[in-house]
Amino acid sequence: MAIKMEMISGLPSFFYQTLMLVVFGTSLIFVYLYRSDKSSFFVQLYLLTTLIKILAYGAYSFVMILEDRVGAVQNVIWFFMLYAVFTGLEIFFLHRKIFRG
């Protein structure tokens, strides 16, 4: 709809790459944390995986900006929208697991 109204010119140039990275990265970390039986170290594991995600996603964003300087704003906005949605989902489902036992 936003494309039809000419609010944006089209999909970001790294649309599919970013989508695959965030979905795969969040899913991998979620499955690891969800299956982890080390409940006494859960907070440390969660903080470690968050640090790894931030470093990896920061490197990806840096490369993405260098590769497409013209479309960098669209790519970064798309990335942060996905990151916020998938991190929110991750927190929601991990929170449910923690309080259910």
Instruction: Give the predicted TM-score (pTM) of the model.
Output: 0.80
Q: Is residue 73 part of a domain?
A: yes
Q: Would you say 14 and 77 are in contact if contact means Cβ atoms under 8 Å apart?
A: no
Q: Is residue 72 part of a domain?
A: yes
CA dihedral 28, 30, 31, 33 (to 10 degrees): 120
| Residue pLDDT, tens place only, 68-98 | 999 999 999 999 999 999 999 998 988 887 7
Distance CA 4, CA 50 (A): 37
Q: Is residue 74 part of a domain?
A: yes
**pLDDT score at 99:** 79
- Number of independent structural domains in the chain: 1
In this prediction, residues 48-71 reach a mean pLDDT of 94
| Residue pLDDT, tens place only, 16-39 | 999 999 999 999 998 888 888 777
Which tokens in the block code for residue 34? 């969800």
